[in-house]
Structure 1
Amino acid sequence: MGSDCLFCRIAAGEIPATIVRETDTTLAFRDIDPKAPVHVLVIPKEHYADVAALGRADPALAGELLAAAAVVAEDEGLLGDGYRLMFNTGAYGGQEVFHVHAHVLGGAPLGPMLCR
Structure 2
Amino acid sequence: MSDHRPVSAVPDDYAEFVLDLVSRIPVGRVSTYGVLAEIARAETGRGSARTVGRVLSLYGGGVPWWRVCAAGGRLVVHKSERQAEHLRAEGVVLSRAGRVPMGEVGWPD
User: Scaled by the length of structure 2, what TM-score is found?
Assistant: 0.32
Structure whose residues are more often strand by fraction? 1
Structure whose residues are more often helix by fraction? 2
